[in-house]
Chain A
Amino acid sequence: MTPLGLKTFRIFLLLASSPGIERHLTRLVKAALDWWSGKKIAVIGPTASGKDSFLARLQNREIPQVHANSAMGEKIKSFPVKLTLSNHRVIDITCKGVINIGGETDYRDAPSGWLSVCKDADVVFYIMTVSDLSGKRFIKGRRIRHDLDWLLTALPHLKSGALLHILINKIDTQIESHTDYQLLAGKLARDLAELDTTVRSVLHPYEARYTGATLISMKSKQIYTRAINIVFRAVYSAFHETAARRKAG
């Protein structure tokens, strides 16, 4: 394992001890394999948060050589995603009707903008960066909070039962610049908890649609692989819990 891989392992191990995340890590329901198959996803988030890179990783290719600030909504051909889980089971997901779009607020608010990208999706991934997290850009008046407010207005127009998961990209930059991982993990856990509270309070009427936030790095394949497995399990677990609660109620 490379030093970065080892550091990543430690960080994820420390974060896994946070309440809520452990459940997702230990729970792997067989039905998740069937549930994810054929799901449609949408990827939105501020500019340079890593939307293009996430699509590249899902397609199992490196970050494109010609990389541009996305200027208009562009269709991407359907592509298969194969995720190998820890017990060697494989999840096959077909990403269909994917549209890639820019992250500036101009795209968010335009008629052919984020809403048109999200309206048919089963799972919406909102990508932000770890500096948005530590810089508290989710507090009132700042960009991430504006996007959360936008999501609140958009959720009633999305597919019924569409889920939202937040990806916090560029964790590799934090891991590389720290030596005290216990301290870093503690800080990240606190920031994540604060973000979680904000998201739940902003999206209150649709809180059940929010499946959590996960630290990830699109740049580092090792971190990406570890994190994306957590994400796919977490989304399914949240869906399963909501369905069970609805059944019981």
Chain B
Amino acid sequence: MSSVHSYWILPNRNQRDDVLACDGGRIVPLRQILEPRLRPEGFSHGVPTELLERCGPAQSAQVVFAQRFPRWQGNRQLFVVTTPAGVDSSGRVVHLGVLFILEPHEHPSFDIPYADLPGEDQPHAQVLLRRLSSPKRGDSWAQSVRELGELARRYGPATNVALQRSAIHFHSLYEVAPGGLTRKLTARKRSLLLLLVFAVIGIGLAERACRHSPRPLVLNGAPTCRFS
């Protein structure tokens, strides 16, 4: 029997003192579902400001941010996906999220109901779920979230996209690039690339040294053998 638990984290449009969540019927403070003291370090209730700043106002609505904490409360996992969902009464961007509490072998599934969400949140929920369940070609944000869901547990706390201003370190798969995301180079690929660069520089230097040498580049001639 699956024990996947999913909850909507609602946008704080009215600048309330606490974050609200929907547990599939009731709207309750998120702290009733996930006690703040039990939230792992670096847990985010929305899209980090640095991502919104780097993407700019035109692209920021497309951002989907996800985090995975594989060893939460023993062996369980926390998986959270968030996206911008309009603005609050002061015009600040607010966020809609889905929180999954998973057993070690489980993966997040994006087939979840949203009919009980407040009316203004439903269109954002619908778009988010559609993007995540069947990512369109070129939707690197949605693709990165799916990949994060499949990531091996050994990587520890991870995010779909690299953060520069996070107070704690996360393993990440992608980084922000103009118009979307690009896959981050792995340490192995980075070493290979570095080796290649050094090899090219080495060959170039050797060739330059030979060109400036007074000795002929190639000593021509054939060995002669005398037979008596």
Contact = CB atoms under 8 A, between A and B. Distances in A.
Interface of A: 46-48, 64-76, 99-100, 102, 104-113, 116, 143
B88 A111 contact: no
B150 interface: no
Contact of A104 (B17, B165, B166): B17
A40 B32 CA distance: 35
Interface stretch (B35-43, B127-135, B175-183): B35-43
Contacts of B93: 66-69
26 contacts: A46-B17, A48-B90, A66-B53, A66-B60, A67-B91, A68-B94, A69-B46, A69-B93, A71-B45, A71-B48, A72-B42, A72-B46, A73-B166, A74-B50, A75-B166, A99-B167, A100-B49, A104-B18, A105-B18, A105-B31, A105-B36, A106-B31, A109-B31, A111-B37, A112-B42, A112-B43
B49 A71 contact: yes
B15 A47 contact: yes
Chain B interface size, as a band, is 35 or more
B18 A106 contact: yes
Contacts, number: 111
A128 to B, nearest CB: 12
Contacts of A70: 49
B72 to A, nearest CB: 12
B117 interface: no
Contact of B49 (A74, A105, A109): A74
Query: Which 8 A/B pairs are nearest by Cβ-Cβ distance?
Result: A71-B46, A72-B44, A109-B36, A68-B93, A74-B165, A112-B41, A110-B36, A48-B15
Given A68-B46, A106-B36, A112-B168, 16 more contacts: A66-B52, A68-B84, A68-B93, A68-B95, A73-B42, A73-B166, A74-B165, A75-B165, A75-B167, A99-B167, A100-B49, A104-B12, A106-B31, A106-B39, A108-B36, A110-B39
> Which of A65, A75, A109, A110 has the most C-beta atoms of chain B within 10 angstroms of its own C-beta?
A110
A143 B15 CA distance: 13
A30 to B, nearest CB: 37
A64 B46 CA distance: 18
Given A74-B166, A74-B167, A111-B39, A65 B47 contact: no
Contacts of B48: 71-72, 74
B76 interface: no
A68 B16 contact: no
B19 interface: yes
Given A104-B12, A143-B17, A66 B56 contact: yes
Interface in B102-126: none
B92 interface: yes
Contact of A76 (B43, B52, B165, B168): B165
B49 A68 contact: yes
Q: Is the interface of B mostly helix, strand, loop or mixed?
A: loop
B47 A64 contact: no
A68 B47 contact: yes
B45 A106 contact: yes
B31 A69 contact: no
Given A66-B56, A110-B36, A47 B167 contact: no
A161 B202 CA distance: 58
Contacts of B50: 74
Given A68-B49, A71-B47, A116-B167, A48 B41 contact: no
Contacts of A72: 42-46, 48, 166
Interface string B6-27: 0000001001111100000000
Contacts of B31: 105-106, 109
A43 to B, nearest CB: 14
B39 A73 contact: no
A146 to B, nearest CB: 8
Contacts of A69: 12, 46, 88, 92-95
> Which of B36, B46, B53, B84 has the most C-beta atoms of chain A within 10 angstroms of its own C-beta?
B36
Contacts of A109: 31, 36-37
A109 B30 CA distance: 12
B57 interface: yes
Contacts of B16: 47, 104
Contacts of B37: 109-111
B43 A110 contact: yes
B82 interface: yes
Contacts of B95: 68-69, 71
